[in-house]
Amino acid sequence: MYTQANTAAAAKVKIKAGFGLDKCNKLQELPCSTRGSFKQNCNCCSMHIVCLAKSVGEESRQVLNGFIQHPRPLRKGEHFYRQNDDFVALYVVNSGAVKTYFINQQGEEYITGMYLPGELFGVDGMDIGRHRYSAKALDTSSICEFGYSNLEQSCQSFPDIQRRLTEILCAEIFQKQQPLLSMRQNSAEQRLATFLTDLSARLQSSGLSATEFNLPLSRRDIASYLGLVEETMSRTFSRLQKRQIVRVSSRSVIITDLPALQALSMNRC
Amino acid sequence: MYTQANTAAAAKVKIKAGFGLDKCNKLQELPCSTRGSFKQNCNCCSMHIVCLAKSVGEESRQVLNGFIQHPRPLRKGEHFYRQNDDFVALYVVNSGAVKTYFINQQGEEYITGMYLPGELFGVDGMDIGRHRYSAKALDTSSICEFGYSNLEQSCQSFPDIQRRLTEILCAEIFQKQQPLLSMRQNSAEQRLATFLTDLSARLQSSGLSATEFNLPLSRRDIASYLGLVEETMSRTFSRLQKRQIVRVSSRSVIITDLPALQALSMNRC
DNA sequence: CGTCACTTTGACCGATTTCAAGGCTGGTGG
DNA sequence: CCACCAGCCTTGAAATCGGTCAAAGTGACG
């Protein structure tokens, strides 16, 4: 599971122990126990409130349900798709976390996105038929797969599916990229604060804890995502901890002063 | 017109004179003389190769043509829409240039986009029904307006319109934001080089000159767009000029060594 | 127990920002 | 026609933030 790796470690830590890691990133009270099963359907999935099937009519949901696929969950480090693979489907994270990235000619890796349960990925390449990025599991992750040819057909018959898809595309533009956009001229501290508050909000909207969680990304990846280097990231975490705004121990984070963190980030439009 | 303001000024400049400013940012050889007229249609518009009506069938174009509006051209500084206005339509720049931006609680302005002839704007707010940004004419600008309710209906009947719209949304995500994304850890020089080569390519694809043009944005705006300050921008322009890569005089730019500029930018994925 | 990946910390350096001043340009009104 | 003003652009000097290089600590795993 998500926290497995850290619990043993945390027990050894003196002051930092007792973070309640065992509660981190676990879903609260699912309406029915489908989690863990590879055969799910949207009616019985706690994600439908956020995923592609959100706010579409009953009939539309049945349609989606008809062609949805559930590939086997991938372990940490395995790829859902790679740069230049054919674009064949859109995906929704069911559990775990996924990062997308690309590697340029110089061999440098750029993190382009991080996706949490209920969030849709795979849009890169929707227009050109080939993926621009690679998508990799950050933890053991299960997903729902929506074949694009099926999806495109459904959109023609069911306007609400089309509307929802368009809505998601727009969200992809604004909720994900715009925080980064407006982050360009901000300090390392502001960027990290923005990253953490954003992450917190997204976890909460999937029914997870807003103040205690594990970071899906390593320091290096967060740094890359925020346009900084590993060392700066580490120093910035340390500074926020010294100021009692967060407590961090490796991947686990407790936000102890969310208002302060939000005040630091302040870049909503 | 676009260059009117600068020509007189440039005549006074000694060494910098003779830039051919009168050729800047003017369309080359329009197929028919609709430019300047407020009543246009897509069949007779030189933009159809790039705008929303690109690569849709004959019948679809007639449909678009049926509900397209042409509001009066706005002068520099006037707004097409403002933050929080209701989202009612998508727009395509016909002539001139448009910037989108927002102002946060602290009163700081963030440039979110710059749109040239043939490019679509107004997507901000498509999902939430209210505009997140303001859109302002950078010069006297005319646009085509596609009412969204009409557009949405057309999409249902004409899959190629839907496909084109989706394509444009994806382009909005990737062609516009991703260069900036990968620009985060680059130097001021690389960022400016990327900005200029990108601008050059976009102007060219609308039939304008790739090497001689006027900057639609002020130094301050370019700086904001690239995550830098005005002074750094100015210094960077000076440095590129000293190295004979560009010649600049206020808003007018001549790229004298495009390969060198492209070599500096190198941040395609 | 050793290795490896990840993280933290320190010292130094350089690019960009900040602060400050001055120049240029276009518009306004006398 | 000229003086003045405001906005935009440029340049210089000093300060600061983040990057680079180097070293050491930590936990996971075989």
Residue by residue, DSSP assigns A184-212 as TTS-HHHHHHHHHHHHHHHHHHTTS-SSE
Give the per-residue pLDDT at B24: 37
Nearest to A124 among B165, B174, B267 (CB): B174
Going by the DSSP 8-state scheme, the letter that residue B256 receives in this structure is S
**Any atom of strand C under 7 A from CB of B13?**
yes
**Residue B42 and residue B64 in contact, taking contact as beta carbons nearer than 8 Å:** yes
The 3-class SS string of B49-97 reads: HCCCCCCCCHHHHHHHHHHEECCCCECCCCEEECCCCECCEEEEEEECC
**Percentage of chain B modeled with pLDDT above 90:** 34
Please state the length of chain B. Answer: 269
The 3-class SS string of A16-40 reads: CCCCCHHHCCCCCCCCCCCCCCCCC
Tokens at A249, concatenated: 């121990």
Please state, in angstroms and rounded to a whole number, the distance separating the CA atoms of residues A163 and A158.
Answer: 9
Give the per-residue pLDDT at B15: 29
Q: May I ask the CATH architecture of the domain A42-178?
A: Sandwich (2.60)
**Dihedral over Cα of B189, B190, B195, B200: its sign:** positive
Give the per-residue pLDDT at B29: 31
B112: closest CA of chain A, how far (Å): 8
Give the per-residue pLDDT at B111: 87
Mean pLDDT is lowest, of A42-46, B120-124, B170-174, B262-266, for A42-46
Give the per-residue pLDDT at B205: 84
Name the residue among B145, B96, B140 with its Cα closest to residue B121. Answer: B145
Please state, in angstroms and rounded to a whole number, the distance separating the CA atoms of residues B165 and B53.
Answer: 9
Contact B269 A132 (CB under 8 A): yes
C chain positions with any atom within 7 Å of a protein CB:
6-11, 15-20, 25-27
Please compute the mean of the pLDDT values over residues B179-199 and round it to a whole number.
Answer: 84
Amino acid at site B9:
A
| Residue A269 touches partner B, C-beta closer than 8 Å | yes
Give the per-residue pLDDT at A51: 66
Domain ranges of chain B: 4-28+182-265, 42-177
A2-35 pLDDT per residue, tens = 333 333 333 322 223 333 333 334 333 333 333 3
Give the per-residue pLDDT at A158: 85
pLDDT at B49 over 70: no
Fold of B42-177: Jelly Rolls (2.60.120)
Give the per-residue pLDDT at A208: 86
Partner A, chain B 105-144, Cβ-Cβ below 8 Å: 105-106, 110, 112, 123-124, 126-128, 132-133
| Residue A221 touches partner B, C-beta closer than 8 Å | no
The gap between A250 CA and C8 C1' (Å) is 11
Tokens at A217, concatenated: 């990304």
Contact A126 B171 (CB under 8 A): no
**Residue A200 and residue A215 in contact, taking contact as beta carbons nearer than 8 Å:** no
> Number of helices and strands (H, E) in chain B?
9, 11
**What's the maximum distance between 2 C-alpha atoms anywhere in chain B?**
60
Q: How confident is the model at residue B48 (pLDDT cuts 50, 70, 90)?
A: low
Which residue, among B164, B181, B231, would best test binding to A if mutated, counting the most A CBs under 10 Å from its CB? Answer: B181
**Any atom of strand C under 7 A from CB of B187?**
yes
Task: Report the phi/psi class of residue A203: left, alpha or beta, with left for phi > 0 and alpha for psi in -120 to 50.
Answer: alpha
Please compute the mean of the pLDDT values over residues B34-49 and round it to a whole number.
Answer: 53
Give the per-residue pLDDT at A182: 63
Going by the DSSP 8-state scheme, the letter that residue A156 receives in this structure is H
Name the residue among B268, B262, B179 with its Cα closest to residue B227. Answer: B179
A12: burial class by Cβ within 10 Å (0-12, 13-18, 19+)?
exposed
Please state, in angstroms and rounded to a whole number, the distance separating the CA atoms of residues A6 and A4.
Answer: 6
Give the per-residue pLDDT at B258: 93
| Residue B155 touches partner A, C-beta closer than 8 Å | yes
A124: burial class by Cβ within 10 Å (0-12, 13-18, 19+)?
buried
**Residue A89 and residue A147 in contact, taking contact as beta carbons nearer than 8 Å:** yes
Give the per-residue pLDDT at B34: 36
**Dihedral over Cα of B158, B163, B168, B173: its sign:** positive
Nucleotide closest in space to A8 (CA vs C1'): D27
**Residue B113 and residue B99 in contact, taking contact as beta carbons nearer than 8 Å:** yes
Amino acid at site B83:
Q
Task: Tally Cβ neighbours within 10 Å of residue B12.
Answer: 8
Please compute the mean of the pLDDT values over residues B45-69 and round it to a whole number.
Answer: 72
**Dihedral over Cα of B227, B232, B237, B239: its sign:** negative
The gap between A7 CA and C3 C1' (Å) is 22
B121-156 pLDDT per residue, tens = 998 888 889 998 999 999 889 999 999 999 888 888
Contact B170 A174 (CB under 8 A): no
Give the per-residue pLDDT at A46: 56
Q: Which helix (H) or strand (E) holds A5?
A: helix A4-12
Nearest to B104 among A105, A163, A269 (CB): A269
**What's the maximum distance between 2 C-alpha atoms anywhere in chain A?**
60
A219-252 pLDDT per residue, tens = 999 998 888 999 999 999 999 999 999 999 888 9
- Beta-bridge partners for A213: A253
Name the residue among B44, B50, B40, B45 with its Cα closest to residue B206. Answer: B50
The gap between B233 CA and C23 C1' (Å) is 17
Give the per-residue pLDDT at B149: 92
Phi and psi at residue A121, to the nearest 5°: -140, 170
Partner B, chain A 9-68, Cβ-Cβ below 8 Å: none
Name the residue among B84, B154, B144 with its Cα closest to residue B119. Answer: B144
Q: How far is CA B28 from the centre of its chain?
A: 17
Mean pLDDT is lowest, of A117-121, A247-251, B49-53, B57-61, for B49-53
Contact A266 B185 (CB under 8 A): no
Between B177 and B248, name the one with better pLDDT: B248
> CATH number of the domain at B4-28+182-265, out of 1.10.10.10, 1.10.580.10, 1.25.40.10, 2.30.42.10?
1.10.10.10
Question: What average pLDDT values come out for chain A (269 residues) when binned by 10 residues?
Answer: 32 30 35 41 59 72 82 90 94 90 81 88 89 92 91 86 84 70 80 92 87 93 91 95 91 93 73
pLDDT at B38 over 60: no
Close Cβ partners of A96 (under 8 Å, ≥ 6 residues apart): A2, A73, A117, A137, A138, A139, A140, A141, A142
**Residue B268 and residue B193 in contact, taking contact as beta carbons nearer than 8 Å:** no
C-alpha angle with apex A208: A1 to A114, nearest 5 degrees?
A: 75
Task: Tally Cβ neighbours within 10 Å of residue B198.
Answer: 17
Please state, in angstroms and rounded to a whole number, the distance separating the CA atoms of residues B66 and B62.
Answer: 6
**Residue A207 and residue A25 in contact, taking contact as beta carbons nearer than 8 Å:** no
Please state, in angstroms and rounded to a whole number, the distance separating the CA atoms of residues B247 and B214.
Answer: 12
Please compute the mean of the pLDDT values over residues B150-174 and round it to a whole number.
Answer: 84
B193-219 pLDDT per residue, tens = 999 999 999 899 888 889 999 999 999
Please state, in angstroms and rounded to a whole number, the distance separating the CA atoms of residues A71 and A66.
Answer: 15
Contact A173 B171 (CB under 8 A): no
Which residue, among B87, B149, B173, would best test binding to A if mutated, counting the most A CBs under 10 Å from its CB? Answer: B173
**Any atom of strand C under 7 A from CB of A86?**
no
